[in-house]
């Protein structure tokens, strides 16, 4: 057995740095969600972690970058959910349903909530293009999954654009009303909402 070096190697230092940066983002996103972005200062975030604002600047340039990172994490979780759902077996309806359930759950979690609650008004002009590009990717993925489900006959033919907005709107909304300590779990809420929405998309004999 080798002696353990008291010095951290490059990989350990990088892991350490990433963990600290994550902790800053997690503390910040919770404050943004609770108090609102404009009412939260990086001093508040630093205080909640028992560090100084100068320490935060070691990991993130400014409050705008903190927000951009937070919404980017949320949007990437949604994109990943789309990718995972599309890799599933089953028909188009099954994959769509899988995606919508995760979509709803993510919007009730810290970073997903921030995407919806803080919105694009709070992002700087420089940050908007990246944010919008990611949002666009998610919309494209959702429309593509709707189209595939229509094409394989597992849901009714429908205006894909309107359907995508209807689904996204319904499933974005829990970011505003859901209380983490509520009686229903996020997955129970996600399932119940998606059941209603999927029934609206199902093939029907007139």
Binding status of residue 150 toward its own copies by CB under 8 A: no
Site for its own copies (CB under 8 A): how many residues? 35
Side-chain-facing half-sphere of 19: CA atoms under 13 Å: 6
CA distance 65 to 184: 34
Q: From residue 96 to residue 115, what is the string marking binding to its own copies with x (rule CB under 8 A)?
A: --------------------
Rounded Cα distance, 47 and 45, in Å: 5
Which of 83/153 has CB closer to its own copies?
153
Candidate list 4, 169, 179, 181; residue touching its own copies; CB under 8 A: 169
Interatomic CA distance for residues 116 and 37, integer angstroms: 12
Nearer to its own copies, 89 or 205 (CB): 205
The reply to whether 196 sits near its own copies by the rule CB under 8 A is yes
Tokens of 152: 């394989």
User: Distance between CA atoms of 85 and 2, rounded to whole angstroms?
Assistant: 44
Pair 194, 101: CB distance under 8 Å = yes
Question: Is 181 one of the binding residues for its own copies (CB under 8 A)?
Answer: no
Based on the shown chain and the rule CB under 8 A, indicate whether residue 171 belongs to the binding site for its own copies: yes
Determine if 53 is a binding residue for its own copies (CB under 8 A): no
Of 166, 181, 66, 172, nearest in space to 115 by CA: 172
Could you say whether residue 206 binds its own copies (CB under 8 A)?
no
Q: Tell me: does residue 126 bind its own copies (CB under 8 A).
A: no
For the chain, first and last CA: distance in Å?
A: 73
Q: Which residues bind its own copies (CB under 8 A)?
A: 36-39, 117, 119, 121, 156, 158-159, 162-163, 165-174, 176-177, 189, 192-193, 196-202, 204
């Amino acid at each position: 057995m080798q002696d353990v070096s008291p010095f951290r190697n490059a990989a350990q230092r990088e892991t350490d740095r990433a963990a600290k940066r994550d902790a800053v983002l997690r503390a910040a996103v919770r404050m943004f969600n609770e108090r609102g972005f404009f009412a939260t200062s990086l001093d508040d975030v630093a205080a909640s972690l028992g560090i100084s604002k100068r320490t935060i600047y070691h990991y993130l340039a400014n409050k705008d970058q903190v927000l951009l990172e937070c919404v980017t994490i949320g949007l990437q979780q949604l994109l990943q959910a789309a990718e995972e759902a599309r890799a599933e077996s089953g028909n188009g309806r099954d994959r769509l349903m899988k995606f919508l359930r995760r979509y709803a759950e993510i919007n009730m979690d810290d970073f997903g909530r921030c995407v919806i609650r803080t919105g694009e008004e709070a992002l700087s002009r420089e940050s908007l293009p990246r944010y919008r590009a990611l949002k666009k990717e998610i919309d494209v993925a959702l429309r593509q999954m709707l189209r595939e489900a229509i094409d394989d006959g597992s849901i009714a033919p429908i205006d894909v654009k309107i359907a995508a907005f209807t689904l996204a709107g319904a499933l974005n909304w829990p970011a505003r009303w859901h209380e983490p300590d509520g009686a229903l779990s996020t997955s129970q809420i996600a399932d119940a909402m998606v059941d209603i929405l999927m029934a609206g998309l199902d093939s029907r004999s007139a």
